[in-house]
DNA sequence: TTACAAAACTAACACTTGTTAGTCTAATTT
DNA sequence: AAATTAGACTAACAAGTGTTAGTTTTGTAA
């Protein structure tokens, strides 16, 4: 039980460092020093550096897919589905800033197997997002903007929210939740 | 003269590799191999790995500031200024995809001095972009959306265009140039 | 108090890193 | 033809990498 907490601590600390310096620029000795122990001691809790990265990246990726899966079947208008997704991005960004940053910047450093898994989760998410847009346009709830451009425009903004969130003094979470959907979706509404 | 071309070749190749694997994951031996020579030979043309990175990142950053400087003083409406900026992002993305990707992903690995320089260029660009929005809103050419959110929303989309451009089979450059400004700016127009 | 397990430690491994020194070869200039 | 130079090469460096083996310390349960 305590072991789990210690492991969690390590992963959290790793995410913080990975975010600041990038996966490859953080050595196991750096990570250990930040934890106040020696590098070798880390291996009592984790099995490899790669495992830490995978654990960070995949947990966030799975969370996103999990959320969109709850949104898709709901009997609500497309705009509301999109708003719910945007809100979820904002919330996750606030709660797990380092994890999100790490996912976006360091997924390339996953080993072949984990990278494949990550990319398939990402593809799945994009497909479901695209489908919400497609249905919304078909039902004339949304304007007929080029769909790939819409998907791209909205998702990349959401993906990089964490950059923004770092300067949270500039905009409150509440303002973000009301104004960001407007900025992103107004182009899609008549 | 030939030396310049060779150097340019190295920097171009480096950008390609940095983009694919990240600055730290590309060794001088990797880069040399891609050029068909040995690592030590690179140093006949460049002085350090860091110099290559700086040369890539700063050239793009300066190009962006250079362009916005030509746009700002023009006697045209805010929307047209913004459209011109968006077009420039699209063009640069098409012409220098690897450089752009490299700037966005690897600027953290600049040494202290170059990082400071890069960040100040970036800050300068954002300030000028923000000012265009501010004036446009003051003149009622633009809607009064939260200005920081607008700056962020538009710039991050433009910054990550290169991700998108990689799948250029999906959308033509021409479509991008007409539809992307619409998506990004319609939320700002009545 | 003793016994045991968890988690720290030291020391070392095999390997990779960016970079330099010194040398040889091929092309260009004199 | 001789001299110079650009640009490749080999060999090596000091430092840093992730990880393992074996040992000692610490805290908890008997």
Tell me the pLDDT tens digit for each residue of B92-114: 999 999 999 999 999 999 999 99
pLDDT of residue A146: 85
Q: Which pLDDT does position A36 carry in this prediction?
A: 96
Q: Which residues touch strand D (CB under 7 A)?
A: A 26-30, 39-40, 43, 47-50; B 2-3, 6, 32, 37-41, 44-45
A5 CB inside 7 Å of strand C: no
A29 in the Ramachandran plot: left (φ > 0), alpha (ψ -120 to 50) or beta?
A: alpha
Nearest C-alpha of chain B: how many angstroms from A142?
13
The residue with greater pLDDT, A183 or A7, is A7
Q: How far is the CA of A53 from the C1' of D26 (A)?
A: 30
Q: Is the pLDDT of residue B170 over 80?
A: no
Residues 70-129, chain A: which have Cβ within 8 Å of B? 105, 108-109
Phi, then psi, of B16 in degrees rounded to 5: -60, -45
Average model confidence (pLDDT) for chain A?
Answer: 93
Quote the CA–CA distance of A54 and A57 in Å, as a whole number.
Answer: 5
What distance lies between CA B87 and its chain's CA centroid?
A: 12
DSSP 3-state of B151: helix
Task: Reply yes or no on whether the pLDDT at B168 is more than 90.
Answer: no
CA distance A111 to A108: 8
- Residue B103: the pLDDT is 98
Q: How would residue B172 be classed by pLDDT, with cut points 50, 70 and 90?
A: confident
Lowest mean pLDDT among A108-117, A150-159, B23-32: A150-159
From A36-50, A59-73, A142-156, B128-142, the region with the lowest mean pLDDT: A142-156
Burial class (CB in 10 A: 0-12, 13-18, 19+), B22: buried
Token pair for residue A50?
């790669």
How far A74 CA lies from chain B's nearest CA (Å)? 26
What integer is the mean pLDDT of B121-129?
98
Q: Which residue has the higher pLDDT, A106 or A169?
A: A106
- pLDDT of A84 strictly over 90: yes
- Distance in angstroms: CA A104, C1' C16: 26
Local confidence band at A190 (pLDDT 50, 70, 90 cut-offs): low
Give me the pLDDT at residue A159, please.
94
Interface test mutation site (partner B, options A123, A145, A146, max chain B beta carbons within 10 A): A146
Q: Is B131 on the interface with A (CB under 8 A)?
A: no
Residues 45-84 of A with CB within 7 A of strand C:
45
Orientation of helix A147-159 relative to helix B173-185, angle to 10°: 60
Distance CA A82, CA A79 (A): 5
The answer to whether residue B129 scores a pLDDT higher than 60 is: yes
Residue B189 is predicted with a pLDDT of 66
Q: Look up residue B13 and give its two tokens.
A: 């190749």
Mean of per-residue pLDDT scores for chain B: 93
Nearest alpha-carbon partner for A158 in A80, A103, A121, A116: A103
Answer whether B42's CB lies under 8 Å from B28's CB. yes
B137 touches A: beta carbon within 8 Å = no
Q: Per-residue pLDDT tens for B31-83?
A: 999 999 999 999 999 999 999 999 999 999 999 999 999 999 999 999 999 99
pLDDT confidence of residue B1: 38
| Nearest residue by alpha-carbon distance to C1' of C16 | B27
Give me the pLDDT at residue B3, please: 52
Do A160 and B159 count as a contact with CB atoms less than 8 A apart? yes
Dump the DSSP string for A40-65.
Answer: HHHTTT-S-HHHHHHHHHHHHHHHHH
Rounded to whole angstroms, how far apart are CA atoms A33 and A42? 10
Nearest to B184 by CA among A126, A156, A142: A156
Q: Is the dihedral of CA B48, B53, B55, B58 positive or negative?
A: negative
Other Cβ atoms less than 10 A from the Cβ of B183: the count is 22
Domains and CATH numbers, chain A: 50-188 (1.10.357.10)
* pLDDT on residue B186: 76
Q: Give B190's pLDDT tier (boundaries 50, 70, 90).
A: low
Residues 138..167 of B with a Cβ closer than 8 Å to A: which?
Answer: 145-146, 148-150, 152-153, 156-157, 159-160, 163-164
Residue B2 has pLDDT above 60, yes or no: no
């Amino acid at each position: 039980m305590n072991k789990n907490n210690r492991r969690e601590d390590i992963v959290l600390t790793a995410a913080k460092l990975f975010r600041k310096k990038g996966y490859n620029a953080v050595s196991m000795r750096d990570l250990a020093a930040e934890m106040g122990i020696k590098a070798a001691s880390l291996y009592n809790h984790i099995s490899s550096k790669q495992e830490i990265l995978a654990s960070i990246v995949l947990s966030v990726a799975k969370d996103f897919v999990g959320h969109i899966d709850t949104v898709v079947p709901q009997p609500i208008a497309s705009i509301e589905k999109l708003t719910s997704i945007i809100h979820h991005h904002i919330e996750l960004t606030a709660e797990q800033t380092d994890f999100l940053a790490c996912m976006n910047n360091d997924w390339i450093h996953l080993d072949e197997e984990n990278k494949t898994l990550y990319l398939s989760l990402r593809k799945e998410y994009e497909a479901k997002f695209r489908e919400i847009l497609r249905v919304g346009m078909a039902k004339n709830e949304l304007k007929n903007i080029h769909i790939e451009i819409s998907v791209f425009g909205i998702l990349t903004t959401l993906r990089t929210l964490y950059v923004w969130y770092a300067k949270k003094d500039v905009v409150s979470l509440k303002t973000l939740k009301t104004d960001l959907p407007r900025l992103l979706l107004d182009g899609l509404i008549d």
